[in-house]
Structure 1
Amino acid sequence: MGTSSGAPGGLRIAIVGPAFPYKGGGAHHTTELAHRLAAAGHDVVIESWRAQYPGFLYPGQQTISDPEGEPFPGTRRRLDWRRPDGWWRTGRGLRSYDLVVLAVLSPVQVPSYLGILAGLRRGARTVALCHNVLPHERKPYDEPLMKRLLRRVGGVLVHSDEQARLAEGLTERPVRVAEMPAHLPVAAAVAPGDVKVRRRLLFFGIVRPYKGLDVLLHALAKGPGDVGLTVAGEFWGGLDETRELIRSLDLASRVELRPGYVPAADVPGLFTAADALVLPYRTATASQNVWMAYEHGLPVIATDVGGFAGQVRDGVDGLICEPGDAASLADALGRFYAPGEPERLRSGVRPVDHAPVWAEYLDMLTGDALTGDALTGGAR
């Protein structure tokens, strides 16, 4: 078994969730969390999957050939969606661990996590680390599944006050909030002196209805007529509908679609070619995209959902507008492109020092606030 070599007094911690070479923010976060916990002196293992999601739910390419970061050496891939008996065995194999962290990205994971919990010893310390308590686009079974899971774990860690309220409505277990620190790869930032206004905006990442690309397109049609938009990311459905909307709004000459996963090597060029990153989300939990934009010296135009208003300083390093409101977003685009504003907002952008954020995050995850008693090293 490859794990970190924990220092005396450190904990034995198992993280269950996606990890490299799977792509996406969940895999990045799990892997980076393992590295950070190991660096803090804990003995860490990741229990991951032979496939990140069942094929019928995500038929696309789930892995990438070159992990966009350093894989964690103590990563095992024994979990299989088709083998529920293996879930219980995985839990049984983790009985000697001080803390088991379940990385929750979707209710689809709940049956396997319940199987793992059934295999653990009675009284095991467990935390549901919820990237999303409930999906942005919900199905009738989502809430019952999440309620069952959150009532079985010792505590719940979320990344925003809104998500905490959701979790508190599903469980009486302790629910705590910790800001999600940066975990996505960052390439060389844009040179500080590069302030050329390019009259182009960027929409970046997986395209799903809750992210409001349609609202942005309507706003673009209402806003400054010489501003272009690049849309770069995987479409989880709706690509043909998006193309038709672009045609109907007469935006074909102004909008570039780059559907598909964006390798880390291509990210700097996308950010360099834009004046601002636009996050027109209808709903949100926590997003790494604001931090990525700031690392590349780019202001952010975002809606007032999730944690965006806490990340973006309105009028200093970006603008905040109303969600689901094309007129409000169009007004924000007009304000952004007022003479001198792109340069002024870019000058206010500062990369964030995430070392203190990570330190608080690890303290919250491993401390006593989530599961009751203070954790100490050694098996029980």
Structure 2
Amino acid sequence: MTRQGTGGGRRVALVGPAHPYKGGGARHTTELAHRLAAAGHDVVIESWRAQYPALLYPGRQTIDTPEGAPYARTRRRLAWYRPDGWWRAGRDLRRGADLVVLSVLSPVQVPAYLGLLAGVGRGTRTVALCHNVLPHERSAVDTALVRRLLRRVDAVLTHSPEQADLARALLAGRDADVRTAELPPHLPETPAGAPETPPRVHRHLLFFGLVRPYKGVDVLLRALAAGPPDVTLTVAGEFWGGAAELRALAGELGLGGRVELRDGYVPAAEIAGLFAGADAVVLPYRSATASQNVWLAHEHGRPVIATRTGTLPDHVRDGVDGLLCAPDDAADLARALGAFYAPGEPLRLRAGVRPVDPEPYWRTYLAELVR
């Protein structure tokens, strides 16, 4: 990781989650702050002390151990239940920042961001950094909230051309500054596992990450039932809405003894062990914008079986370090699983895996954000 630096440049305020919040959003905000500071900018993170109501995010929101080096200049003043604090934080940023960057992870954040922007006023440049312009599972209220936010900021940064088109559609009729830069690697710092010597085939697969309907775990279960009969699967991550429905589906498909549903956030210290016991990571997403999980799998030396959606096919070299299949198609995913377990294929594909070099991605990303 690039550490905090000093020097000239712009005064930048990043508004978004940071430790003790967990997950990719918090890691991204923190890594971005370190890299902007190292590039000579004067950076502060304006973070949350209470980001979401528990009713809307029932899982555990914070963790005890940081997943990377925290950024020293982090303030934690925002709370979803304190509108007066939104405006006060914005007023402070109006005096202390040339550029305010709002990390947009969910429409739930939009009321707070609009309150903060009211305090910032119109004299400070503002950017909405959209991890997803709209949720994969969205409502009319989500669309209305995000449209209002995007029409209030000076620029929008998205992570794929498709997301840029969605932002422009929400800004229809306006001369919008919508930019695209691929989401750069911001992986958790995980202890290295012991090398497997010699490499062997485990007949075991891993799904890793937050479990939501658009991630297609139900499609993976159906494909597993139709694929090689002795392959097992671990699904590890927080289950949005609980694991009961997927557990019932696994039972209906006769997979009760072949599938482990590990519901709960996976601490960084346990990640290496999960990957070490798997032959491949499977990402059966119905839809996607950007995902760190291809790079995380490759960092741990594992090939990836993924669907052709979002940026996933940009990072999986079909037949070299993984396999690709059609989204929302259990039969095609079953075909891919069968092809993966052809004699010699798991170790051949593992040999093709190379860890990502994050530097080119970050150079492009910083340039688009601050230009």
Which bin holds the TM-score, normalised by the shorter protein?
over 0.9
Are the equivalent residues in 1 in contact too, given 2:59–2:238 (CA < 8 A)? no
Are the equivalent residues in 2 in contact too, given 1:192–1:297 (CA < 8 A)? no
Q: State the distance in 1 between where 2:281 and 2:162 align.
A: 23
Q: Could you tell me which runs of 5 or more consecutive residues in structure 2 were left unpaired when the two chains were aligned.
A: none
Are the equivalent residues in 2 in contact too, given 1:21–1:71 (CA < 8 A)? no
Q: State the distance in 1 between where 2:50 and 2:285 align.
A: 29
**Residue equivalent to 1:175:** 178
AA paired with 2:47?
Answer: S
AA paired with 2:177?
Answer: P
**Residue equivalent to 1:376:** none
- Give, in angstroms, the shift of residue 36 of structure 1: 1.0
| SS of match in other structure, 1:95 | helix
Query: Is residue 133 of structure 2 the alignment partner of residue 133 of structure 1?
Result: yes
**Residue equivalent to 1:197:** 201
- Give, in angstroms, the shift of residue 5 of structure 1: 6.2
Are the equivalent residues in 2 in contact too, given 1:189–1:295 (CA < 8 A)? no
**Residue equivalent to 1:378:** none
Q: State the distance in 1 between where 2:194 and 2:313 align.
A: 24
**Superposed, which structure 2 residues align to 1:34-113 within 5 Å?**
34-96=33-95, 97-113=97-113
Q: State the distance in 2 between where 1:194 and 1:206 align.
A: 32
Q: Could you tell me which runs of 5 or more consecutive residues in structure 1 were left unpaired when the two chains were aligned.
A: 368-380
Cα gap change, 1:327 to 1:200, in 2 (>3 Å) = same
Are the equivalent residues in 2 in contact too, given 1:190–1:297 (CA < 8 A)? no
| Percentage of identical aligned residues | 68
Structure 1: 4+ residue segments shifted above 3 A: 189-194
**Residue equivalent to 1:225:** 229
**Residue equivalent to 1:184:** 187
Cα gap change, 1:159 to 1:189, in 2 (>3 Å) = farther
The alignment's TM-score, normalised by the length of structure 1, stands at 0.93
Q: State the distance in 1 between where 2:229 and 2:113 align.
A: 50
**Residue equivalent to 1:264:** 268
| SS of match in other structure, 2:269 | helix
**Residue equivalent to 2:278:** 274
Cα gap change, 1:257 to 1:152, in 2 (>3 Å) = same
AA paired with 1:80?
Answer: A
Q: State the distance in 2 between where 1:274 and 1:149 align.
A: 42
Q: State the distance in 2 between where 1:218 and 1:147 align.
A: 37
| SS of match in other structure, 2:350 | helix
Query: Is residue 354 of structure 2 the alignment partner of residue 357 of structure 1?
Result: no
Residues 314-357 of structure 1 show CA distances to partners (whole Å, capped at 9, x for unaligned) of 11111111111000100000111111111111111101111121
**Superposed, which structure 2 residues align to 1:284-363 within 5 Å?**
284-363=288-367
**Residue equivalent to 2:219:** 215
Number of aligned residue pairs: give it. Answer: 363
Q: State the distance in 2 between where 1:280 and 1:207 align.
A: 11
- Give, in angstroms, the shift of residue 249 of structure 1: 0.5
AA paired with 1:170?
Answer: L
- Give, in angstroms, the shift of residue 190 of structure 1: 6.4
Cα gap change, 1:351 to 1:53, in 2 (>3 Å) = same
| SS of match in other structure, 1:92 | helix
AA paired with 1:299?
Answer: P
Are the equivalent residues in 2 in contact too, given 1:49–1:78 (CA < 8 A)? yes
Are the equivalent residues in 2 in contact too, given 1:231–1:255 (CA < 8 A)? yes
**Residue equivalent to 2:142:** 142
Higher relative CO (CA 8 A, sep ≥ 6), structure 1 or 2?
1
Residues 125-176 of structure 1 show CA distances to partners (whole Å, capped at 9, x for unaligned) of 1110000100011112011111111111111111111111111111242111
Are the equivalent residues in 2 in contact too, given 1:159–1:178 (CA < 8 A)? yes
Cα gap change, 1:39 to 1:306, in 2 (>3 Å) = same
Are the equivalent residues in 1 in contact too, given 2:43–2:73 (CA < 8 A)? yes
Cα gap change, 1:137 to 1:262, in 2 (>3 Å) = same
Q: State the distance in 2 between where 1:244 and 1:121 align.
A: 52
Cα gap change, 1:264 to 1:194, in 2 (>3 Å) = farther
The alignment's TM-score, normalised by the length of structure 2, stands at 0.95
Q: State the distance in 1 between where 2:203 and 2:146 align.
A: 44
Q: State the distance in 1 between where 2:232 and 2:262 align.
A: 14
- Give, in angstroms, the shift of residue 193 of structure 1: 5.5
**Residue equivalent to 2:31:** 32
**Superposed, which structure 2 residues align to 1:14-29 within 5 Å?**
14-29=13-28
- Give, in angstroms, the shift of residue 122 of structure 1: 1.8
- Give, in angstroms, the shift of residue 55 of structure 1: 2.1
CA RMSD of aligned residues (A): 1.3
Cα gap change, 1:154 to 1:346, in 2 (>3 Å) = same
Q: State the distance in 2 between where 1:117 and 1:243 align.
A: 44
